[in-house]
Amino acid sequence: EAGVTQSPTHLIKTRGQQVTLRCSPISGHTSVYWYQQALGLGLQFLLWYDEGEERNRGNVPPRFSGRQFPNYSSELNVNALELEDSALYLCASSLLLRQALQETQYFGPGTRLLVL
């Protein structure tokens, strides 16, 4: 079974540019989560999508946005890039079960973004 896939694997942008990152969840998973991990730091939650809708948003500026498509794949958009946006962007998918207390997330390999 294919895991979570992300594209591109690496990206170099300059300040002020815009970037779109893509994620395909595990087949059958309806939830997609986006995280940011700056070098040497922990994971910061960015956004959560489920069934095509944004369900929750982390403490991130409005220039971070995204969407989820009918096939459950997702895009993360970052506008007006800043130097501190340089990080590994991780996507995770899970199957949201109603009343579930355990919901396991599986991560893709990430997209490394460098902002110059």
Q: Give the per-residue contact string, 45-84, with another protein (x = CB under 8 A; - = no).
A: x--x------xx-x--------------------------
Segment interacting with another protein, rule: CB under 8 A, options 20-28, 68-76, 78-86, 96-104: 96-104
Q: Are 43 and 37 in contact (CB under 8 A)?
A: yes
Q: Round to whole Å and give the CA distance between 108 and 44.
A: 15
* 21 sits near another protein (criterion: CB under 8 A): no
Structure tokens at 38: 């700056």
Beta-bridge partner residues of 13: 115
Cα dihedral sign for 55, 77, 36, 97? positive
* 107 sits near another protein (criterion: CB under 8 A): yes
- Footprint on this chain of another protein (rule: CB under 8 A): 33, 35, 41-43, 45, 48, 55-56, 58, 88, 90, 101-110
